[in-house]
Chain A
Amino acid sequence: MKPENTDRPGEHWSLPPLLGETDSPEIHEIHRSILQRERLEPQEGAEPAPWWVWAVSVAVLFCMGIYLGRYGGSFKPVAHELEMGSAGAASTASARPAPNGADIFSAICITCHQAGGTGIEGKYPPLAGSEWIAKDAGIPVRIVLNGLEGPIQVKGKQFVNQMPSIGAQLEDDEIAAVLSFVRSSWGNSSGKVPTELVTKLRRETAGQGAWTADKLNAIGGKP
């Protein structure tokens, strides 16, 4: 290999004339002095890598192998299934933990009915102390299953708005859980809502549009 510069010994390589002072011998001098002050081009040293670097590497690889076995989801195309239970696919439905009413409330109802079930004056009626959830458990179950619209009196205040049907989003036991939670929180003290009631009403009210306060009163759940 022949270095390219040897054929032009001693030649000056001009830096581009920049915006200010133009190229001159003086500029060469500055460039040269900068380059003279420079140190050697970097090279690779031959120290061995410290033993603990290898040790840590192997340890991390080992731990991650275990992690893969534990959380690899058997390489199935499903999300949110960290491990496959011993019963395989059949376990998915039955192995689901019992739903937590408070969690469902804060995942869904809280956006409208607010933390503490206070509602918002003139927009969303309160759940805390509401007469509609207190008496017949069938009434709030119907509201959650199919929605509610039109004028309604809650704790002496008038609301005219609409609540969407939430039936399709939640399983029967989830509706039972969230209503049991609502009926026993913030001073409310009506009993638990059984899952069977939700199942029964879901069947009976299939195809039913949103309820109105009048229709609910007619059913007899009048507060």
Chain B
Amino acid sequence: MTEDLVSIFIMGKRHVVPSGLTIMSAMEHAGYRLIRGAGCRGGFCGACATVYRVPGDYRLQIGLACQTVIQPEMHLAQIPFYPGHRADYSLDDLQPTFEAVVTTYPELLRCLSCGTCTKACPQDIDVKQYMAEAMRGDIAAVADRSFDCIMCGLCVSRCPAEEVQSNIAILCRRLYGKYLAPGAEHLAKRVLEIEEGMFDDDLASMKSLGEEELRRMYDERDIEPE
């Protein structure tokens, strides 16, 4: 990594840090010990939502602090928490229908299709589009399109209609997974077999083997081809 230094502004305050760092390591280099705003440090948990602006551009940009490299003279602040609304529901009581989704989240229908959420998403998900699909009651489409959502809340923070897109999305994914995805017959069959004790003898006899015998079986076991 180069030793070049750049200045950045963390919540308005100037710090000089080595170039090439992520926003997260730049903050740490500047002396912050993060408590909020850091979770997985690998782009999976959505804890590190960050808003920033670079010189010469009036527009706010967004990114994950653990995944975004700093730019010279960048102004930034983290949004580690956003008080979005989660409806009170239990999946068992719902049906996989448009009615269920819209009764759970009536605000869904207030979406203006403005597309601000899509611009905000660090996962490059077309959030506006899955909201449109939700409004059409196409639960399977929402489930598929929103799949990579890390629930960072950035779309929520920017929405003029005060939608909680990520919560609508997880509701649809769960409805899809539980009710709409085709069932796996081989799995249901295996569960029955286990409950009937079909493998108990096999397992018991394997457990009773000494290490040497087990090792021989292991070394000689056949491997399913690719």
Asked if chains A and B come from one complex, the reply is no
Interface residues of B (CB under 8 A from A): none
